[in-house]
Amino acid sequence: MKFVVCENYDDMSKKGADIIADLIKKKPDAILGLATGNSPLGLYSELAAKYAAGKINFSKVQTFNLDEYYKIKQADPQSYYFFMHENFFSKVNIASKNIDIPFGDADDAVEESKRYHDKIAASKGIDIQLLGIGNNGHIGFNEPDDALSACTHNVLLTESTIEANSRYFKSADEVPKEALTMGIGEIMSARQILLLISGKSKAAVAKTLTDNFVTTQIPASFLKLHQNVTVLIDKDAASEMKIK
Ligand code: GLP
């Protein structure tokens, strides 16, 4: 893992957007794995600004999102579908046929997970997977557990994630209890991984990434086994780490 300590959230967002913009310049039909949450919001704004300034063209780009609540309708303002359109897709020229997000309102979660997995597997492969990290070490919605799933699947959210994500809802009761998420295998099969970590509240989990072991109790620890991971981390989040 390559750790890049950033001055603050804005610096992290700019550096992340530069990495993605450079990739798209080199490979206009790049496949991006995208994430939701506060961590990538600034990066999305930076990319939208580059697009508005004519510095980047997304017309051939394809995207797969990491995860979605289950069950939730796309039009629900809390859905990740809504988040992505509001904060990114509506601001750039990615063709809607090139966008895929697990369908949170599918009748059958197993079938929808299989559809999503098959589509990723049939693609030319995710070039860069953007990730945030949960306070409990989750990536996507791969929650700490005795075993982790390789492929897209339906998960029960942990109390800690429901609590953490309740900041976006009126109350914790309104947070969906389940989600659909890419599995660890699909995340690890991306050619490059870009993990964004920001803020004091992530300092404890960030510190675990420098330990020399992997554990299913910290799903993000599996990223240590990937050959091409860049961690953009701001000073607050890096405050408990000893980066050599
Ligand atoms: C959510 C998402 C993750 C995200 C994480 C951290 O639960 N499923 O994909 O990385 O929370 O979110 P934030 O970046 O807002 O801290």
- 3-state SS track over 53-66: CCCCCCCCCEEEEC
pLDDT value, residue 31:
99
- Predicted confidence at residue 94, as pLDDT, reads 98
DSSP symbols for 175-199: S-SEEEE--HHHHHTSSEEEEEE-S
Q: For position 244, what pLDDT does the model report?
A: 53
Q: How many residues does the chain have?
A: 244
Q: Are 6 and 12 in contact (CB under 8 A)?
A: yes
Cβ distance 161 to 69 under 8 Å?
A: no
If you compute the radius of gyration of the chain from its CA atoms, what whole number of angstroms results?
17
30-65 pLDDT, tens digit per residue, is 999 999 999 999 999 999 999 999 999 999 999 999
Q: Note if 163 is an active site residue.
A: no
- Round to whole Å and give the CA distance between 100 and 116: 8
Question: What is the DSSP-derived secondary structure letter of residue 73?
Answer: -
pTM: 0.97
pLDDT < 50 positions in the chain: none
Please report the domains of the chain, with CATH numbers, ordered by start residue.
2-234 (3.40.50.1360)
Q: What is the pLDDT of residue 242?
A: 81
Q: Cα of 133 to ligand 1 centre, how many Å?
A: 6
Q: Is 136 a catalytic residue?
A: yes
HSE of 141 in the Cβ direction (CA atoms, 13 Å)? 28
Q: What pLDDT shows up at residue 196?
A: 99
User: Would residue 68 show up in a list of annotated catalytic residues for this protein?
Assistant: no
- Ligand 1 centre to CA of 140 (Å) is 7
Question: What is the per-residue pLDDT across 191-215, written as a single tens digit (0 to 9) for each?
Answer: 999 999 999 999 999 999 999 999 9
Q: What's the 95 CA to ligand 1 centre distance in angstroms?
A: 25
Q: Ligand 1: which residues within 6 Å by Cβ? A: 35-39, 66-67, 132-134, 140-141, 161, 165
